[in-house]
Amino acid sequence: MKVLVTGGAGYIGSHVVEMLVEKGYEVVVFDNLSAGHRSAVHKDATLVVGDLLNKGDLEKLFAAHQFEGILHFASHILVGESMEKPFKYFNDNMAAIWNVLEFATANGVKRFILSSTAALFDDPERIPISEDEPLKPGSVYGETKYMAERTLMWMDRIYGLRYCALRYFNACGAHPNGHIGEDHHPESHLIPITLQVALGQRDSLAIYGSDYDTPDGTCVRDYVHVLDLAEAHILALEALGNGPSRVYNLGSGTGYSVKEVVEVARQVTGHAIPTVETERRPGDLPRLIADSTRIKRELGWAPEFDNLHVIIETAWNWHQKHPNGFEE
């Protein structure tokens, strides 16, 4: 099966591409390399450098390839930035998915996987959070994923495009082969920043708020390994071949506070990792933990990395081998 992966040079996209290639899919990565890295793309995948905001680029792409499925990762991803630059997020994230869907539907593509988010669940009524939780984006970033999910509902209704929206909680870790991992510029995510302190690239970790209503006062998140996420994409892609559209919440089901994550990172790295408690970061929620019962029951998703120590070890392996990320 030939599939298109938009944003396939990015963190989660590149791990999914690697798994698709290993499973025998023919993979075309389409990426403008604004956040992704050329060397993150598996050598057996075809990289097309282009922009989803440029319909001319898409015209060439779809003229050259007939895709059976599309996995859409390309997007701006930062909650905080989306509240400072809302139009960047509304304009780019929506135009990107609408453009790719216009070409997908015109070219008879019948399967579409959306990279969605736990940022749809502001102030959840129940924790762990299942797919029955009312959708309430807490940021412009979350709103763009909500609009993307709504758009897909219409694509299914109008064109019969079968889709699966995968709402990741906190993606983390790296491929154990050490070749690909997390490398954002600027980096804003907890685990990579913590490991940069251990590498001596930063003096300390700022803990954003220690007065939350959680056991130790710091925010609790559900950290799910990027390869477990990758596995879920393959299962979803296969299930769409003979089943309806669907949505799934993807997490490990276990919550760790910021302080707990730092403690595990200290054990893994052997570094003291100094911390400084600072103000809360706007938009952060106290607790986000996934209930992933549905995808386990319906698709047999069985996450392998259910231990934060092992997850951070895979990230540490990547950071040690690539202290400057992909820039070498």
Report, as residue numbers or ranges, the catalytic residues.
141
68: contact with ligand UFG by CB under 6 A? no
DSSP annotation string for 125-193: SSSSB-TTSPPB-SSHHHHHHHHHHHHHHHHHHHH--EEEEEEESEEE---TTSS-----SS---HHHH
Beta strands in the chain (DSSP E): 2-6, 26-31, 46-49, 69-72, 111-117, 162-168, 170-172, 205-208, 220-221, 223-225, 246-250, 256-257, 275-278, 287-288
Residues 31 and 55: their CA atoms lie apart, in Å, by 14
Question: Which parts of 247-303 fold into alpha helices (H)?
Answer: 258-269, 293-299
Residues 75 and 81: their CA atoms lie apart, in Å, by 13
> Minimal CA–CA distance to 210: which of 262, 140, 254?
262
117: contact with ligand UFG by CB under 6 A? yes
| Sole window of 81-89, 201-209, 235-243, 291-299 interacting with ligand UFG (rule: CB under 6 A) | 201-209
Size of the site for ligand UFG (CB under 6 A): 21
206: contact with ligand UFG by CB under 6 A? yes
164: contact with ligand UFG by CB under 6 A? no
Please tell me what DSSP assigns to residue 279.
P
Nearer to ligand UFG, 102 or 284 (CB): 284
Least Å from the CB of residue 29 to ligand UFG: 20
Among 105, 107, 188, 254, binds ligand UFG (CB under 6 A): 188
295: contact with ligand UFG by CB under 6 A? no
77: contact with ligand UFG by CB under 6 A? yes
Token couple for 117: 């988010």
224: contact with ligand UFG by CB under 6 A? no
Least Å from the CB of residue 260 to ligand UFG: 11
| Sole window of 34-42, 89-97, 105-113, 183-191 interacting with ligand UFG (rule: CB under 6 A) | 183-191
Name the amino acid, one letter, at 320: Q
Least Å from the CB of residue 206 to ligand UFG: 5
Among 12, 52, 114, 190, binds ligand UFG (CB under 6 A): 190
Least Å from the CB of residue 77 to ligand UFG: 5
189: contact with ligand UFG by CB under 6 A? yes
Residues 256 and 241: their CA atoms lie apart, in Å, by 36
135: contact with ligand UFG by CB under 6 A? no
258: contact with ligand UFG by CB under 6 A? yes
Nearer to ligand UFG, 152 or 190 (CB): 190
Paired residues of 112 in beta bridges: 70, 163
Residue environment code for 272-305, b if the CB has 16+ CB neighbours within 10 A, otherwise e: ebebeeeeeeebbbbbbbbbbebbeeebebebeb
> Minimal CA–CA distance to 117: which of 96, 156, 148?
148
Nearer to ligand UFG, 25 or 169 (CB): 169
**Ramachandran angles phi, psi of 257, nearest 5°:** -80, 165
Nearer to ligand UFG, 244 or 274 (CB): 274
273: contact with ligand UFG by CB under 6 A? no
| Sole window of 20-28, 59-67, 149-157, 205-213 interacting with ligand UFG (rule: CB under 6 A) | 205-213
Site residues (CB under 6 A) for ligand UFG?
Answer: 77, 79, 117-119, 169-170, 188-190, 193, 205-208, 219, 221, 258, 281, 284, 288
